[in-house]
Structure 1
Amino acid sequence: MDFQALVDGIGAMTCVVSVEDLGNGRYGKICIVTGNKGYIDSIEKPAPGAELLVQKFVPNSEYTNYLTKDLNFEDYSYRAAVEGKCLHSYAKPERMQGIWFNMSFIPIGHRDGNICYCLYIMEINFSADTKRLSNVSSDTAVGVLDTCIKLRSSRDFKETMGEVIEDIREQCDASYCCILLVNSYEMKCTVLCESYKDKSLKISMNDYLDADFYELAQSWNTLISGSNCLIAKNEQDMEVVKERNPKWYKSMVDADIKSIIIFPLKFREDLLGYIWAANFKSDDAPKIKETLETTTFILGSEINNYLLMDRLKILSSKDMLTGVMNRNEMNNLIDKIYNLTDDNPNSVGVIFVDLNGLKTVNDEGGHVAGDILLKNAAAVLEEVFLPSDIYRAGGDEFTIIVTGISESELLEKVEAVREAAEHYENVSFAIGYCYDENKHNVKEALRIADERMYEDKKKYYEMHPEKKKR
């Protein structure tokens, strides 16, 4: 068959791909037989950002001569050449920045022994073409639209994401599906949502999130190896996973995972995390890929908005130096308790804590020494109270507000604070506290605790006249 005449008759960048059929769903070498001028120019005269491993086309060379091993390219080539299927994909490979590929794989009715052939036709876009992104099957479109509606009408983002991941798992017919967030600033991973096919199986991804897991998640970029995702659908594909990431491969074998699909979740070029599914229906791999390619495009934007709002909430509610809650959050809590209209009065305990000698530390050691002292003061309080109950009310003042506490428990905690402070250098507190059986009297309790704190501070300076007053 005259392959050269075939590709020369096609206007788009086109090449002929050969696949060695080994039977039973396995394949050997995948080669680029020949290409038309447009395709050869894409190798020898590439557009900026679209450079391959070499810039010289050699007929009948293995495709890995031009790009790193890509299981997605191999799967589509096999399905087109051997199984006779027409396939399409619109994707942005991670190996190429800012470039989208519109790709078609078309079977060729010619076979040389166990060598089968297909056409690979591609178009390069330097920005995402929304029309092409939305040009998906009706089933995929319905699934993505359902996801969008759920997210847009959601009042509880995490709860809705639980429903979304359940839908995605069912679409993939997978035993397990998960969205894992990756925080590069704090160098940690967190599970956003997960779904199990077997409801009795409750081995959560959280069980694996130890101190070393972030490093493992970082290695997934190498595992994907420049493609837009990784789909390992059978034993042959899993051997590639074993070669690229033996540590993760072993953990999957231990968990009886025989197939895996993993997609990066990004907003623009920023990595937010990964979505992955285990033990999916391998025959539906192209459909699953299409579904996740479109869905992750939507999820990346939604998750980024969620993380941004979460970050803004932290900035508005936490003291960035000590990590405890700030005065703004304290005022919100006081107003909430004071204005509650419930019939249950409940109790409230208030403790005012003021650092002794912060000015002296600042004068002698500078603001860095003062910041360390403030952090240590917060650490003392966190040994006794939850961080959500501690508020930095001012420069060296902290307030603790706890409801539903008994007076004896409050006194025990005051003494525990004094004892904990003894283990930190220069940490000395003036403390005032007040207990009231009715939480609606919180403002009066705050006033009394404040007065008692200043009485305690006065005694401190009477005992330590060498210390400078504020």
Structure 2
Amino acid sequence: MDFQEFVNNIEPMTCVISVEKFSDGSYGNIRLVAGNKAYVDSIENPENISSNQMLKNKFIPDSPYENYIPKDLNFEAACYQCAIMKKPFHTYIHPERYSFWIDMYMMPLASSEPNKGYCTYTQEFTMEKNSERMSNLSADISAAVLKTSFKLKGTKDFKKSMDEVLADIREICNADRCCVFLTDFKERKCSVLTQVIAPGLDIKPMEVHMRENAVDFFDIVETWPDTIAGSTCLIIKNESDMEVLKARNPLWHASLMKADVDSLVLFPLEYNDEILGYIWAVNFDTDNAMRIKEVLELTTHLIASEIANYQLMNQLRIMGTVDMLTGVYNRNAMNNRVDWFIRSNEKKPDTFGVIFADLNGLKQKNDKEGHGAGDRLLKGAAEILNDVFYDGEIYRAGGDEFMIIDCEIDEAELVKRVEKLRRDSEDPKNISFALGYYFDGGEGDIRKAMRTADERMYKDKERYYALYPERKRK
């Protein structure tokens, strides 16, 4: 067949690809045999949106594809499926290395050469994500994506829904383990959001593996973007792929070998061009790799969106309940907690203590050293209260006043801690509090407890300034 004449009769950007086939079923060189004018322009024409993102800008027929894009195991797998296995392939993706989305179609071609297969590769670019193109799916892929969507949308228990979705993904992959990591590249932190292990397998939880790793696990996580190398994901199916990984990332490769990983799928979870985390599956059904890739390319968009929404809601909840300066609960959270004690039908604690702690000397500190020094004093006060009442709920009631509700403490221990804090407050070198408390032994009257603790706190403040009149605010 005259491949050049063949592609010249196709209007969209199209080339013919050859895949070298070995007797053991593996493959060798993948080459761009011929391209029509539209395809060649995508490489050579500087006005084409893809031209400036190619490794070389001169198309030479029958050249290795790596002359134009970095080695991409996902692209190779698609070429192999189409050219050697004779299965058509279609996907709509946004590789990280490009500024555009690619709608790609691959069709197998007949070959008279026993050691070489051929296929066509046709592509279209869109600058923005096109939802209609993304929804052009086979029935089984659509069913898997819809199942994920239904489980995530409108859920009241995000963690439970994520567990269920990940269990479905593990079954699709037929993997030993699936895991979702959350990442914070600014703080260099990562954590396991959820993980699922195949029934009957004795595998260490991912948290244990992370702790036992010879290096800080984030040192490995931060290598993943470069290891994915501008593609949409990383899929390791066999020893040959593992050798590619070893060359790219020896640190991670060593970690995987230690964990007895033979194959893996790794997808970034991106939202608004920010990596929120990763989803991965290890020791999966490699014969089903392309279907797994198609499912995850879409479900990861849904999962990332829900994670972003979950994190946003958490941030809003924190902003609504946490005092941003001291890190303890704010007055809004205190009012909600008190309202719970008064109105909720849920079982209340059998006993509880209420402590009011008013910070002495804040006004003087602000007046003499500025509000920055006053803020540091408030932070220090909150740290002390957290240390002393480690089993309680610390609230900044307002200004220089804190309230603590402790449902775990008995009366003797409460008195002991308050008295120690009061003695420490006598030392002018220490942060000083005026303190009042009330222990409810079973009445369950939060308003009485607060009123009494507040009255006692003001009496303690009067006592303090009577002893140390020079420290009284002016």
**TM-score category (smaller protein):** over 0.9
Matches within 5 A, 1:293-304: 293-304=297-308
What secondary structure is seen at the aligned counterpart in 2 of 1:301? Answer: helix
Deviates more, 1:45-54 or 1:298-307: 45-54
Partner of 2:241: 237
Cα distance in structure 2, aligned partners of 1:343 and 1:276 = 41
| Amino acid paired to 1:21 | K
Partner of 2:462: 458
Partner of 2:255: 251
What secondary structure is seen at the aligned counterpart in 1 of 2:387? Answer: helix
Partner of 2:204: 203
Confirm whether residue 373 of structure 1 aligns to residue 386 of structure 2.
Answer: no
Kept in 2, the 8 Å contact 1:71–1:237? The answer is yes
Deviates more, 1:178-187 or 1:314-323: 178-187
Please state how far the C-alpha of 1:463 moved relative to its aligned partner.
Answer: 2.8
Partner of 1:118: 119
Please state how far the C-alpha of 1:80 moved relative to its aligned partner.
Answer: 1.6
Deviates more, 1:163-172 or 1:175-184: 175-184
- Write out per-residue CA displacement over residues 203-225 of structure 1, whole angstroms, 9 at most, x where no aligned residue: 22222456933343222111111
- Write out per-residue CA displacement over residues 260-312 of structure 1, whole angstroms, 9 at most, x where no aligned residue: 11111122312211111111101111100110011112222222111111110
Identity of aligned residues (%): 47
Partner of 1:94: 96
Cα distance in structure 2, aligned partners of 1:336 and 1:269 = 41
Please state how far the C-alpha of 1:166 moved relative to its aligned partner.
Answer: 0.1
1:339–1:52 CA distance, 2 compared to 1 (3 A): same
Please state how far the C-alpha of 1:111 moved relative to its aligned partner.
Answer: 4.8
| Amino acid paired to 2:49 | P
Kept in 2, the 8 Å contact 1:377–1:421? The answer is no
What secondary structure is seen at the aligned counterpart in 2 of 1:169? Answer: helix
How many pairs align? 469
Partner of 2:42: 42
- Write out per-residue CA displacement over residues 111-155 of structure 1, whole angstroms, 9 at most, x where no aligned residue: 545333221111111122222211112111111111111222522
- Write out per-residue CA displacement over residues 56-87 of structure 1, whole angstroms, 9 at most, x where no aligned residue: 21222221111111110011112222222211
Partner of 1:170: 171
Confirm whether residue 334 of structure 1 aligns to residue 338 of structure 2.
Answer: yes
Cα distance in structure 2, aligned partners of 1:279 and 1:323 = 43
Partner of 2:365: 361
Cα distance in structure 2, aligned partners of 1:202 and 1:386 = 35
- Write out per-residue CA displacement over residues 401-458 of structure 1, whole angstroms, 9 at most, x where no aligned residue: 0225321121233245458879996422222111011363111111111121122222
Partner of 1:311: 315
Cα distance in structure 1, aligned partners of 2:351 and 2:161 = 35
Kept in 1, the 8 Å contact 2:357–2:457? The answer is yes
What secondary structure is seen at the aligned counterpart in 2 of 1:276? Answer: strand
Cα distance in structure 2, aligned partners of 1:420 and 1:280 = 60
Matches within 5 A, 1:377-416: 377-386=381-390, 389-415=393-419
The TM-score normalised by the length of structure 2 is 0.93
Kept in 2, the 8 Å contact 1:384–1:416? The answer is no
Cα distance in structure 2, aligned partners of 1:406 and 1:79 = 69
Kept in 1, the 8 Å contact 2:392–2:405? The answer is no
1:351–1:48 CA distance, 2 compared to 1 (3 A): same
- Write out per-residue CA displacement over residues 26-56 of structure 1, whole angstroms, 9 at most, x where no aligned residue: 2222221221111110011253366212222
Kept in 2, the 8 Å contact 1:349–1:433? The answer is yes
Cα distance in structure 2, aligned partners of 1:345 and 1:294 = 47
Kept in 1, the 8 Å contact 2:20–2:28? The answer is yes
Partner of 2:193: 192
Partner of 2:151: 150
Query: Aligned-residue CA RMSD in angstroms?
Result: 2.3
Question: For structure 2, which runs of at least 5 residues remain unmatched after alignment?
Answer: none
Kept in 2, the 8 Å contact 1:188–1:214? The answer is yes
1:414–1:244 CA distance, 2 compared to 1 (3 A): farther
| Amino acid paired to 1:380 | I
1:94–1:335 CA distance, 2 compared to 1 (3 A): same
1:463–1:54 CA distance, 2 compared to 1 (3 A): farther
Kept in 2, the 8 Å contact 1:327–1:394? The answer is yes
Partner of 1:264: 268
Cα distance in structure 2, aligned partners of 1:409 and 1:209 = 39
What secondary structure is seen at the aligned counterpart in 1 of 2:370? Answer: helix
Cα distance in structure 2, aligned partners of 1:417 and 1:69 = 65
- Write out per-residue CA displacement over residues 349-375 of structure 1, whole angstroms, 9 at most, x where no aligned residue: 011112221222222322222222211
Kept in 1, the 8 Å contact 2:341–2:348? The answer is no
Kept in 1, the 8 Å contact 2:43–2:50? The answer is no
- Write out per-residue CA displacement over residues 220-242 of structure 1, whole angstroms, 9 at most, x where no aligned residue: 11111101111111111111222
Deviates more, 1:221-230 or 1:121-130: 121-130
Cα distance in structure 1, aligned partners of 2:456 and 2:149 = 55
Kept in 2, the 8 Å contact 1:31–1:61? The answer is yes
Please state how far the C-alpha of 1:384 moved relative to its aligned partner.
Answer: 2.8
Deviates more, 1:298-307 or 1:416-425: 416-425
What secondary structure is seen at the aligned counterpart in 2 of 1:198? Answer: coil
Kept in 2, the 8 Å contact 1:260–1:277? The answer is yes
Cα distance in structure 1, aligned partners of 2:347 and 2:44 = 79
Cα distance in structure 2, aligned partners of 1:261 and 1:183 = 21
The TM-score normalised by the length of structure 1 is 0.93
Cα distance in structure 2, aligned partners of 1:2 and 1:134 = 35
Partner of 1:12: 12
| Amino acid paired to 2:249 | N
Partner of 2:439: 435
Please state how far the C-alpha of 1:313 moved relative to its aligned partner.
Answer: 0.5
What secondary structure is seen at the aligned counterpart in 1 of 2:304? Answer: helix
Cα distance in structure 1, aligned partners of 2:31 and 2:331 = 66
**Structure 1 residue corresponding to 2:76, chosen from 62, 74, 77:** 74
Question: For structure 1, which runs of at least 5 residues remain unmatched after alignment?
Answer: none
1:416–1:95 CA distance, 2 compared to 1 (3 A): farther
| Amino acid paired to 2:393 | D
Partner of 1:282: 286
Confirm whether residue 222 of structure 1 aligns to residue 226 of structure 2.
Answer: yes
1:34–1:279 CA distance, 2 compared to 1 (3 A): same
What secondary structure is seen at the aligned counterpart in 2 of 1:393? Answer: strand
Cα distance in structure 1, aligned partners of 2:50 and 2:363 = 57
What secondary structure is seen at the aligned counterpart in 2 of 1:440? Answer: coil
What secondary structure is seen at the aligned counterpart in 2 of 1:391? Answer: strand
- Write out per-residue CA displacement over residues 157-196 of structure 1, whole angstroms, 9 at most, x where no aligned residue: 1111100100011011111111111134543222221111
